[in-house]
């Protein structure tokens, strides 16, 4: 993600900041401009410091889960990220509330990234082909309730916002990586397969050449996967073991990792990251001098990102913490990511 700064005192800010810790001005995110706006709390209206435009906060600002802005003349009560919520948990339950806050952080970061990719998001409540989110608490009798996607409805279990339970699930499923933002990126990948690939014959043909034939029985494929039927050399063709279960899951996993890389790449660009390690191998040297969302060539993005990923993983190991990106990206997986990048670049 890009770096933000206070419009009043130029203090660097995080995307989620609701006030500036240096000057105390209120902070709000204007999605149309990809900028954080700042506001003097002493004023009666929410008028931005720099361009004097009037805004109002999304209704979810009152809960501390959203700092997004709506233009003053707009009659909407919710920002375009929160309009995607179809179901939120019972907020009278303190644990539910805290978990919902964590989910909203990841969801807003997801919507920011989809906006940067130029993907139009319509709420399913307004458009049958749109997207919506259900954030639900799983009770003992709801054995079949799980995180997933179905016809534009993305369900995220509140338990995914519990770091202890999430780590337990990660170990139980032998996953190298399990995060809230990872779930959002994976599930929205299923939604965009329907939007970008399913109804275009040429794209579908190219998809099948890379990912396989999605017409194979989905449930049987999952059953086979959970029974341990995975090829020994799956790393040569897939980004994760779960991606081997079915072409739809391969797409969603690859889509999620494409978004991981693009977000890390944008952050690297805005921080001016470069690495020049004291080794002869040139493949671990690199820098980011361009905005990845404006770059047509995904190979160039990947080649610039890979050395930085190696450096970040090395720093994590110095601290005794897991790799930030614990995956090997094979040449075939890069081709799959190129397919996704080209779909978005030439949409």
Per-residue pLDDT tens digits for 285-318:
888 899 999 999 999 999 999 999 999 999 999 9
Whether 84 has a pLDDT exceeding 60, the answer reads yes
Look at residue 209 and tell me if it is in a domain.
no
Looking at the fold, whether 149 and 122 belong to one and the same domain comes out as yes
The residues with which 87 forms a beta bridge, in sequence order, are: 134
Look at residue 248 and tell me if it is in a domain.
yes
Q: Which pLDDT does position 282 carry in this prediction?
A: 77
With 0.95 as the threshold, say if the pTM is over it. no
Does residue 40 contact residue 8 with C-beta atoms inside 8 Å?
yes
Q: How many domains does the structure of the chain reveal? A: 3
Query: Distance between CA 145 and CA 136 in Å, rounded?
Result: 9
Q: Which pLDDT does position 285 carry in this prediction?
A: 85
Contacts of 340 (CB under 8 A, 6+ apart): 254, 255, 258
Query: 331-345 and 201-211 are packed helices; what angle lies between their axes, rounded to 10 degrees?
Result: 160
Looking at the fold, whether 111 and 185 belong to one and the same domain comes out as yes
320 φ, ψ (degrees, to nearest 5): 75, 25
Looking at the fold, whether 254 and 277 belong to one and the same domain comes out as yes
Look at residue 310 and tell me if it is in a domain.
yes
Whether 143 has a pLDDT exceeding 60, the answer reads no
70 φ, ψ (degrees, to nearest 5): -125, 135
Q: Which of 21, 53, 78 is the last residue of a domain?
A: 78
Q: Which of 152, 172, 196 is the last residue of a domain?
A: 196
Looking at the fold, whether 192 and 97 belong to one and the same domain comes out as yes
Look at residue 220 and tell me if it is in a domain.
no
Look at residue 208 and tell me if it is in a domain.
no
Does residue 38 contact residue 7 with C-beta atoms inside 8 Å?
yes
Looking at the fold, whether 264 and 298 belong to one and the same domain comes out as yes
Looking at the fold, whether 186 and 296 belong to one and the same domain comes out as no
Does residue 187 contact residue 252 with C-beta atoms inside 8 Å?
yes
Q: Which pLDDT does position 175 carry in this prediction?
A: 74
Whether 201 has a pLDDT exceeding 80, the answer reads yes
Looking at the fold, whether 73 and 35 belong to one and the same domain comes out as yes
Look at residue 201 and tell me if it is in a domain.
no
For residue 286, give its domain range: 228-347
What token pair was written down for 141?
Answer: 């009798």
Flag the least confident range among 41-45, 126-130, 265-269, 319-323: 41-45
Contacts of 240 (CB under 8 A, 6+ apart): 175, 176, 253, 257, 327
Looking at the fold, whether 265 and 185 belong to one and the same domain comes out as no
Whether 218 has a pLDDT exceeding 60, the answer reads yes
Looking at the fold, whether 90 and 62 belong to one and the same domain comes out as no
Query: 180-196 and 247-271 are packed helices; what angle lies between their axes, rounded to 10 degrees?
Result: 120
Q: Which of 78, 110, 139 is the last residue of a domain?
A: 78
Look at residue 223 and tell me if it is in a domain.
no
Looking at the fold, whether 263 and 290 belong to one and the same domain comes out as yes
Looking at the fold, whether 95 and 191 belong to one and the same domain comes out as yes
Query: Distance between CA 125 and CA 122 in Å, rounded?
Result: 8
More confident residue, 166 or 264: 264
133 φ, ψ (degrees, to nearest 5): -120, 135
Look at residue 300 and tell me if it is in a domain.
yes
Flag the least confident range among 120-129, 276-285, 295-304, 317-326: 276-285
Looking at the fold, whether 237 and 342 belong to one and the same domain comes out as yes
């Amino acid at each position: 993600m890009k770096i933000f700064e206070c419009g009043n005192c130029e203090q660097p800010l995080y995307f989620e900041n609701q006030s500036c810790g240096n000057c105390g001005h209120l902070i709000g995110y204007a999605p149309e401009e990809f900028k954080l706006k700042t506001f003097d709390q002493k004023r009666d209206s929410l008028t931005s410091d720099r361009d004097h435009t009037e805004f109002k906060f999304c209704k979810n600002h009152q809960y501390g889960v959203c700092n997004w802005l709506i233009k003053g003349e707009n009659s909407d009560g919710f920002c375009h990220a929160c309009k995607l919520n179809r179901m939120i948990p019972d907020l009278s339950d303190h644990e539910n509330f805290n978990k919902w806050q964590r989910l909203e952080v990841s969801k807003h970061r997801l919507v920011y990234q989809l906006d940067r990719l130029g993907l139009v998001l319509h709420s399913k409540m307004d458009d049958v082909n749109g997207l919506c989110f259900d954030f639900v608490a799983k009770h003992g009798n709801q054995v079949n309730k799980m995180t997933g996607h179905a016809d534009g409805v993305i369900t995220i279990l509140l338990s995914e916002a519990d770091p202890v339970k999430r780590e337990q699930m990660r170990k139980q499923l032998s996953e190298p990586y399990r995060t809230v933002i990872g779930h959002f990126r994976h599930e929205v990948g299923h939604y965009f397969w329907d939007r970008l690939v399913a109804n275009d014959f040429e794209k579908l043909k190219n998809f099948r050449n890379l990912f396989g034939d999605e017409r194979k029985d989905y449930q049987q494929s999952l059953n086979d996967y959970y029974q341990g039927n995975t090829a020994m050399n799956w790393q040569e063709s897939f980004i994760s073991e779960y991606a081997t279960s079915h072409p739809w899951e391969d797409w969603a996993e690859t889509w999620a990792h494409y978004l991981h890389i693009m977000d890390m790449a944008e952050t690297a660009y805005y921080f001016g990251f470069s690495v020049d390690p004291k080794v002869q191998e040139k493949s671990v040297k690199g820098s980011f001098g361009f905005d990845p969302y404006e770059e047509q060539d995904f190979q160039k993005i990947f080649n610039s990102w890979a050395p930085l990923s190696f450096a970040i993983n090395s720093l994590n190991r110095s601290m005794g913490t897991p790799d930030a990106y614990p995956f090997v990206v094979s040449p075939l997986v890069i081709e799959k990511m190129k397919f996704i990048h080209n779909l978005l670049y030439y949409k």
